[in-house]
Chains A and B, each alone.
Chain A
Amino acid sequence: MTDTIIFVLAGAFATATPLLLAAIGEAVAEKAGVMNLSVEGMMAFAAAVAFAVTYQTGNIVLGFGLAVGASVALSLVFSILVLGFSANQIVSGLAVGILGLGLSSLAGRSFENLTMMAPANLSLPVLSDLPLVGPILFRQSAITYFAFAVAFLTWWFLAKTRHGRITKVVGEDPAIAHNLGFAVIRIRLFAIIFGAVMSGLGGAYASTILTPGWSDGLIAGRGWIAVALVVFGTWRPLRIAFGAYLFGALLLGDLAVQAMGFSVPPQIMTSLPYVMTIIVLAAVSRNALLIRLNAPVSLGQNFQPSK
């Protein structure tokens, strides 16, 4: 029983990591008023590139680096469409996302169904050997710690820093921000690129550390879950982190329950993580005023400064 609990609570951090990275990135882009729906495609392309590079060179850092590059390249296509030509954000995001999925199949074609060894998780002296707490909290991948640190730093950035406030107000009213002298397009570009870096890291983590192997469709909707987490976490990084962890825990809990041989229809069990995460996040974030204050008002609306 203890083993099962450790399996669920420790594994949830790992399962949550790619979701959290991608969701935090998307949250920042949306805070600046840009709805980038290509998260799934960016993650998939990055995952394929990360696996291919790491498999061939054995250098996981290089794999992550090129994965982020691939994701950012996709986001630049999106940026040119949306920021340069004021194209509809939803349609551009979907199109670039489909492009990313296609590129991931192409990049991963000769690596289909290959696997490799995941790098060992961190092992900290003393801490990792603590009973219960050790395996849950202190034997995770460095990327996992990074993901939760990014969530915290993003919260701090948006809530406490001047640049964070500027990002936020560009998403509230780009016209006023422009009148005050802020470079709306440049700020939105940075936000989109930050989102792409995070999606790239999330995708790379999924194919090299979480399930080190490649098969087409490996990302399996994680990008969409990340987009949903942003909304149900009401654009607040700490809520999003909580939501990602909850989702991971429910996903693994579901596996654990099935392994114990309870006779629950599998359809119900499989849908449970999705349903429960939505219910819980909707319940903790039901304060209408807080939603109104955190939701980016100009989300999805393009802005072009007049010359």
Chain B
Amino acid sequence: MKTKAGESPLLLQLRNITKRYGTYVANDSVDLALEHGQICAILGENGAGKSTLMKTIYGIQQPDEGEIVWNGEKVAVTSPSVARDLGIGMVFQHFSLFETISVVENISLTVPGSLPDLAEIIRQKADEYGLHVNPDAPVHGLSVGERQRVEIIRCLMQDPKLLILDEPTSVLPPHSVQQLFGTLRKLSERGVAMLYISHKLEEIRDLCHCAVVLRQGRVTGTANPRQATSAELARLMIGQDIPTARHAEAKPSCEPALTVSDLTYENPDPLGESLDSVSMAVRPGEIVGIAGVSGNGQSTLARILSGEIRLQGHMAGRIQVFDHPVGDAPPGTRRQMGVTFVPEERLGRATVPTMSLADNVLLTAHGAGLVRKGLIRRRQQADFADKCISAMDVRSRGRQSIASSLSGGNLQKFVLGREILLKPRILIVSQPTWGIDVGAAAMVRQKLVDLRDTGTAILMISEELEEIFEISDRIHVMYHGRLSPSVQARSVTAEDVGRMMMGEFDQKMRAA
């Protein structure tokens, strides 16, 4: 590794970084050291303080205590532009691109230079690192993979010495992950150091030189990911072994509970996702998983199934619940037929953030004897909420807790528990474990399998491929608004599904 004379061998040192939000300590005296060209994984569950630490390094927020030493000198990173001037770049988990302008216009916001010059440099960097993008393309038309390439190119154009990557692979199909790793290794060889946030242990073992584990805001350990096993890393991360969902062979009955036939939907929002002749069936007692990179029509499909988007009357028959057409029925009607939904946004769509858990129970469970003659029956309401909280081990200060005060994992357990207690005949769930910690995720998955075994038909939309494989019985893949034929989860490999995620299931697309 090249080191100029007089330059510190250490690129970045964090000493005693502490960050508090009120009484909550997000980072508690964190120390960290990083060499030039080193790729260091930052491991930890959600809420462990990883993102807070990265935001501090990138200057989005200031630490309450502690210091940042850059190339041997103490620095105050007071804003992201200071960080960029130092040579720190960050690729955000949910991207920081604006949809209404083009790639080069986005890059021009933070990189000086005229648009034609920048476009030229983008093309150069794209060739150099194999990150193909068209500088003049509007961002709203780009796939997530392309968006991420734009983010990385933007960082590279500032000639960074340190790159912070926040869960960069969480939205990528497997094929793109390898491509990304190739680029990152090339950068590392050229001396660019990286902080790599992820909870995908296999990836970390594949890519990173070192790993720092955070738990509850503190550094609880370091490991050499090349030598440690995934199980060892996991234990460091959550302090215990991760249970995996017990998953017996499904015994579905033959009559489908939920049928979608040749559903085509043109989204009136020009940037929204449309659907192109989607067909599928979900039978009682099985879990059907829909994989695919998000943004390929899954959220539109979920809204059409739930009734948030209602189809025109003549299209009603395209969606059937036990042979009744429901395509034009409002959500309440569908719920009366035994269909329940767990949407991906927990706050604002599944619950009212400012209301208590007890009141949030009423949102969907009002029909379960909690209301009589238009008046709320307080005791039944309290019983239902308590039952939900204890059945799902929701950690909260009881049923009067405000929904927004719960962590993502606990709130998700609550929402799922509420729907399970309604004994649904069909459950439609989107991104059931998105952004929640490993322990809560394992429990949510186990509950879904248990529910399946009671004879409920479950449709799960998820972009976590591991999750799809862990609990689905059959798998569909969504790509550009089209749905693949289903494959048996037990007889298909992750690589096969990965290829389907790139659209390789579709005769029509292959021909195009």
Contacts and interface: CB of A to CB of B under 8 A. Distances in A.
Nearest to A172: B98
A307 B62 contact: yes
B356 interface: no
Contacts of B105: 165
Nearest to B98: A169
B61 A162 contact: no
Interface stretch (A33-41, A133-141, A286-294): A286-294
B100 A168 contact: yes
B60 A178 contact: yes
Interface string B120-136: 00000000000000000
A116 to B, nearest CB: 47
B501 to A, nearest CB: 26
Contacts of A307: 61-62
A165 B138 CA distance: 14
B339 to A, nearest CB: 32
Contact of A165 (B21, B81, B101): B101
A165 B61 contact: no
Contact of A162 (B60, B83, B109, B270): B109
Q: Is the interface of B mostly helix, strand, loop or mixed?
A: loop
Nearest to B271: A292
Contacts of A180: 80, 96, 109-110
A181 interface: yes
A12 to B, nearest CB: 32
A181 to B, nearest CB: 3
B268 interface: yes
A289 B61 CA distance: 36
Interface in B101-121: 101, 105, 108-110
A293 B62 contact: no
A306 interface: yes
B110 A181 contact: yes
A169 B79 contact: no
B99 A172 contact: yes
A176 B99 CA distance: 11
B269 interface: yes
B267 to A, nearest CB: 10
Contacts, number: 55
B80 A166 contact: no
A173 interface: yes
A172 B100 contact: yes
A293 B270 CA distance: 10
Contact of A168 (B97, B101, B138): B101
Interface in B39-84: 59-62, 79-81, 83-84
B265 interface: no
A166 B98 contact: no
B92 interface: yes
B61 A306 contact: yes
Interface in B367-404: none
B98 A179 contact: no
Given A162-B108, A179-B60, A181-B79, A292 B269 contact: yes
A139 to B, nearest CB: 40
Interface in A266-307: 288-289, 292-294, 297, 306-307
Nearest to A306: B61
B109 A173 contact: no
A73 B238 CA distance: 56
Contacts of A297: 100
B270 A165 contact: no
A168 B105 CA distance: 11
B96 A176 contact: yes
Contacts of B110: 180-181
B109 A179 contact: no
Nearest to A175: B96
Given A179-B60, A179-B96, A307-B62, A289 B270 contact: yes
Interface string A125-157: 000000000000000000000000000000000
A178 B110 CA distance: 12
Contacts of A181: 59, 79-81, 83-84, 110
A173 B101 CA distance: 12
B164 to A, nearest CB: 12
A206 B110 CA distance: 41
Given A179-B60, A180-B109, A307-B62, A293 B100 contact: yes
Nearest to B92: A179
A166 B109 contact: yes
A303 to B, nearest CB: 14
Contacts of A176: 96-98
- Specify which of A172, A292, A294, A307 lies most central, judged by the most chain B CB atoms within 10 Å of its CB: A292
Given A181-B81, A307-B62, A288 B270 contact: yes
Contacts of A179: 60, 80, 92, 96
A165 B109 contact: yes
Interface in B122-155: 138, 140
Interface of B: 21, 59-62, 79-81, 83-84, 92, 96-101, 105, 108-110, 138, 140, 268-271
8 contacts: A162-B109, A165-B108, A179-B80, A180-B110, A181-B79, A297-B100, A306-B21, A306-B61
Given A166-B109, A288-B269, A293-B100, 9 more contacts: A165-B105, A165-B108, A168-B101, A169-B109, A173-B98, A181-B81, A182-B109, A292-B269, A297-B100
9 pairs of A and B residues whose beta carbons are closest in the complex:
A181-B80, A289-B270, A181-B81, A169-B98, A176-B96, A293-B100, A288-B270, A181-B79, A172-B98
